[in-house]
Structure 1
């Protein structure tokens, strides 16, 4: 390989870095070598930016040596801060945040070194310009840089008995300094603080920027008491739940919980350090307000995941009906049938026969003036709203009138009246004849048994919507049942039981799970059409099961375990068939998806997750690595180590992996050591503890990674 290629040069530089990690005395010479090649190709610039950030953040380099190196690196930093790549900018802004106090101290002691100060001002101005336009990662680094500028350009503790002489602040600046103006520096710090607090006042700020801002405000409150009032007031005015959407997704809920926890820890630390502050009452009130808003969000999520109000009311009625024996209501007494007046005297007409009303206004109204469609709507509406007893009585009255007219024709009548009666009788006979002929025509045209036409064929979107609606109805049925613990269930047959022996909660769950795992492996709702991608029914059911489980995993974890066991079993069965040779395995995919969604919400006392880990059929290395990540969280350290110990004891296939992880935590992460882990390691791998005693590690701590979290802890060596 060409020794002048960037890959070869980076390999050589990495070997040199390993050397200085073992012997930090060589660090200044290595930095000068890096500065000579840092202007080369992009790979070298990227490596050099990371190395400079690590140089000024690690505590193994002497503070005096750091101050000398900071002056030599200004040209390279000014060059790299013009880069466009995100990784280079992140590292170089972190490096600038570390050296700013050192350069400021140098200028305080060297009044005429205008060249150095002008370079630092140029770097600062470039970083402040990047603050609003750079990617999120770079903007977080800019927030850290701004925090360092505020710390340096503001006054610290005013009590002379409590002043730290090694602290870098405005107290170091002489009154008549030619380059540093106290009013200008203090005004710039106040302006940067206002700009920093404005992130909490914007309607749509990035959650990562809000969290980074709150984390940088805590050191300012601790070391700069004059700024405490302004900072705490701005934080108390911010409530992440104010503009919360009505329906909160899992990612949004996780973001809100994270921001609420950051604010709560910050306020508690400030209140603990300033118990006599006049803002103490407001801080306690704000913590309670955030807790209430968080509880309301969780309650809203549970209500949204539960059944509808109609289902709840129906379930309550069923429960009351099952608790109290039904009482037969008394049979209501029907109202008396109306009595209609006899037909008016005079010649018989159709109007007199069918008119039952006695109101003159109704009897004199000509219905022929109304449109036929309006008449039909009135008639049909009246028939639906009319009492059946009244309708029967009216028909009987009309029938009686008609029979009386036929049985008792008028014997003597005036000529004109007789002619009218004859005409009406003729009309009646003609209508009867027409009705008989129409009936004969209907008999002749009869086509036999009537059958409904087939339903219309559904298109792709309709079929998909119908399938999803059917799934939603099945899940609503599940919600109508009260969940039972595994011990309280009636089925005690174990593997010999039927999957769905009764239509209870377990039966519906088993039906849905079997639909996902065995119902249709390659079928789709519909065939692919233009504009609509085919959707696999099994995957749709799986996605709905996933959403249902994570909505309230603490009460639905048993559904997740049953589902994942079915997926694992089905994967094994499909491996033996021709159809499953090219089939994607579903167990690992959905198991990791469920676990990735549950792990961020785990608390220290969530023993349910240990139960889940013990009952899923297979545990991959990827999941164990995620559990190891819990051990690095101080709030969930005990839970993470307990899970690894449990799997090491009761899951033999992953025993060695879990023990190796525990050993790595004990050796490389001292903050994870606690008595429970010590006892367990002494039992399973005592050699780890013996090696730590007989061959102690170099007391010099390993260099911290060039990350913002490591840079947030103010190091006394950097401020000296």
Structure 2
């Protein structure tokens, strides 16, 4: 007689107790439960799913045995995931998170494991599809699964001394693998990381998702230094008080804020000790101090204010059906303006009188041409934003009637009745104003006379000096735009670049004088606008925006942008070091793109090497012994040449700044392996030719080139 589900679960529990006493039975029992997991009873499936999740998370099984078991259980996990049960799927997703790195490493080492990788990819696709559609508990498990995928498909530590043999990263994929492509895997990992970090930009607070994401990305920042800065910057830009809360449930909102605040403190305090967090340590401390100052009374006041704003918004929405108020006196005067205007003593109608709607207004005699262009634009935009549509249509109809009275008869535009539905637009219902040929001729004659009086026909390259054909009033030919000479194009380009720098200064002033600078920066960052946006734009203009070598003008444009960027950075290097790094990274990337089609070009001759060397030459003479930011600048450069390393010789030979020079060399030797030999060559040169530096050089050479020290002693 077949056992019932309860009896089978009782036997399975006895097997679990056996494993707790002797973990060596794990592989045997795990293989034995795979057929049981295929049975239709939900209780049996749930037990097997939980057992698989616990088994692969247990350290009692060796990695090799775990890998073999992981490959065997993929079909079972994929089949059980189709069961529509939240707890069952949560256990299976935890199991999939544990086996992902194991199967990934197995596929990297075995080119014939394509079938296992395809099954794992199917599981990954299904699990990620539950990110937005599954129950709350399942979504939290998907976040953990995404963390494991990102960890496996991003670069690990570059320092060979810190590499863990058990760590699985993108470096595990051998070059030229049969079916695994590094670029595709890394792109997928960065996309998943973006999706993980998107929770910090949501308008509403979801405490459970934020907490789960905080601990997931916190673990990634500790093991993946390449993405640690990106994670920290996103967390530091997160402002929990700026999000929307459920004001109808203040107790729940207060509790959510409390949990988010606590988890932020725990994660940031842990990440602040990482080497990758050193440049951001000041911001982290400030952020933690701001959280510490948050009092419960402030949270209560915030919730009350949000509730009041919501109530006011409801009240405003309820008043949409109230009849419109009578127009103010000024607008009433506009609507009462006469449809005709009188000519002056010469018989002409001035434009000011034609468009003036306020009789006797002192504004009619004001010369608007004296206003700066930007101020006039701001006034016009503010006026258009303040006026309502019916009043604007009525004023336009008055001006139209005046024009019709002056130049000929035609249909007079009238303001249509107010309609709340703006989507009922029908082109057939619009009134078209098509004046007759004599009217057009009169307008053309008046325009020609005004042009002659102002003497603008010969000076304005954009003047419409083509005659109007009375027989074809619909065609108004325009003269072609003036062709600029190369010198004129270069001058216009330089003016554009200067305006970008000026707009950056204005942008800085917006933040400087904002009432809440942190909130202003956060809001601008959410829109994708920050301090570095214009730098990226100009960097790409100088590299990929102009075709180097295409012609002399293109080269001059690129050179001008580089000169301006260099001068801007050197004006305050310590404050603008991030701008320098962004620019030089763009130059290096452009060289890498260029060398694909020109493999004979040398890095030493590239624009990147030229400007990086020029920047080092300009900065090193003004450094002091405490300028550790210089080490950060060197570490952020994408590639270092032997010539760049040789420029540190000046620092090492200066008694007052030698400590900074040798610290920089030691840092590069430890953390920049490609530059290690260049640094050791410089240290060996100093050791052999400058006795004053022998003490500092000997400590480094004893570790890396002991033969040089022994030869000198001999």
Q: TM-score range by the shorter chain?
A: 0.3 to 0.5
Larger Rg: 1
Task: Considering Cα pairs closer than 8 Å and 6+ residues apart, tell me whether 1 or 2 has the greater RCO.
Answer: 1
Q: Normalization by structure 2: what TM-score?
A: 0.41
